[in-house]
Amino acid sequence: MAIEVRRIILEQHEFQAVLNVFAKMEESDFPEGFVVGFEIRNENPLQIFVDIQSPDGAQVGVELAEDFIVEALINFCIQTKIPVSRKSKKSVRLSDGKISFDMSLINPSFSTNI
């Protein structure tokens, strides 16, 4: 079996932009406002604390777990026309200070008998 892997690596300022796009989505559970920064709280599983300035100027802090981070990254891929397979296993981790989003898909039909 062959495994297809797609990896998107984002600098922390790029990931902050991903969160800001996600914050503007109406169907998102993310608080409305502007992401002013975030802090890595845990590396495995990835967990971050996000500082958001709400439209009324109040500062709100939100803890994001790995599944929510993956959801934001999937949205980013859809918005930027990066193909995302529904069947792929999706994971996110911190790698050398960057956010690494991996999508892997097992292809059982791949054959080495060519």
The helix (H) or strand (E) run that includes residue 73 is helix 66-79
Amino acid identity of residue 95, one-letter, is S
Q: Is residue 54 part of a domain?
A: yes
pTM for this predicted structure: 0.84
Domain limits for position 33: 2-107
Amino acid identity of residue 91, one-letter, is S
What is the DSSP secondary structure assignment for residue 34, as one 8-state letter? Answer: E
Number of domains in the chain: 1
Q: Is residue 73 part of a domain?
A: yes
Q: Is residue 113 part of a domain?
A: no
Per-residue model confidence as pLDDT tens digits over 12-22: 999 999 999 88
Q: Is residue 80 part of a domain?
A: yes
Which pLDDT does position 15 carry in this prediction? 95
Q: Is residue 112 part of a domain?
A: no
Rg (CA), the chain: 16
